[in-house]
Amino acid sequence: MGGHCGGVFGDIASQGDKNSKYLQQPFPVKKHIKMDKFQIAQINVGRIKGININDPIMKEFVDNLDRVNNLAENSKGFIWRLKDENNNATNLNPYNDEQVIINVSVWATIEDLENFVYKTFHTDFLRRRKEWFQTFGKAYTAMWWVPAGQFPAIKEATEKLDYLQKNGASQIVFDYKNKFPQP
């Protein structure tokens, strides 16, 4: 899919910024994981209510990030998540907008991802999303199949979300309501 991601927020940050090492290249394979031919990658994006992640309105959300991330990493089917030196992705800024935060992860199956999202402590925060996040737009989550052992770069993930926003669900990229089987 090449090009750039316009979408709701315009161009993705370009080379030379603090995100450049996360934008272009897929991440390396974890050798110890037994995998099927494909895994499910996901991105979710949120426009926070605070002026940035350190705004007081975001305190409870931020105070629980490590707890939720640890739960994800220890959940059945979890394979990988995008994170920086601080163990989260809130400082990554592919949209050049401090009010937009992203999460990108890879799971063994859609069912494993859905179990984490809808049947764990994470669900409490999902229900309270409106306390911390504004309406993002047409789509704020997207899923797609990736070859086993490949982890998407930020650019690929944001392009997938942009494609879903413009074209709707398909085998290329889809959402929780319109899922597609492995290729």
Mean pLDDT of 78-94: 90
Mean pLDDT of 58-81: 95
* C-alpha–C-alpha distance, residues 102 and 73, integer Å: 17
**Pairing between β-strand 38-48 and β-strand 141-147 as defined by DSSP bridges:** antiparallel
As given in the structure block, the two tokens for residue 159 are 């392009």
Split at pLDDT 50, 70, 90, the class of 176 is: very high
pLDDT, tens digit, 9 for 90 and up, residues 37-68: 999 999 999 999 999 999 999 999 999 999 99
As given in the structure block, the two tokens for residue 177 are 């309501």
Specify the higher pLDDT residue, 109 or 90: 109
pLDDT confidence of residue 26: 47
Average the pLDDT over each of 2-6, 49-53, 135-139 and give the range with the smallest value.
2-6
* C-alpha–C-alpha distance, residues 89 and 107, integer Å: 17
Q: Return the number of other C-beta atoms located less than 10 Å from residue 101's C-beta.
A: 25
Report yes or no: 81 and 72 within 8 Å, Cβ to Cβ.
yes
Q: Return the number of other C-beta atoms located less than 10 Å from residue 49's C-beta.
A: 15
pLDDT, tens digit, 9 for 90 and up, residues 10-41: 333 443 444 444 444 444 444 444 557 999 99
- High-pLDDT (> 90) share of the chain, %: 68
For the chain, what are the domain ranges? 35-167
* C-alpha–C-alpha distance, residues 22 and 65, integer Å: 20
pLDDT confidence of residue 108: 97
- DSSP letter assigned to residue 151: B
In sequence order, the β-bridge partners of residue 143 are 42, 174
Say if residue 99's pLDDT is above 70. yes
Report yes or no: 26 and 135 within 8 Å, Cβ to Cβ.
no
As given in the structure block, the two tokens for residue 170 are 């398909």
Mean pLDDT of 80-98: 90
pLDDT confidence of residue 135: 82
* C-alpha–C-alpha distance, residues 90 and 84, integer Å: 8
CATH no., domain 35-167: 3.30.70.100
Split at pLDDT 50, 70, 90, the class of 117 is: very high
- DSSP letter assigned to residue 88: S
pLDDT confidence of residue 44: 94
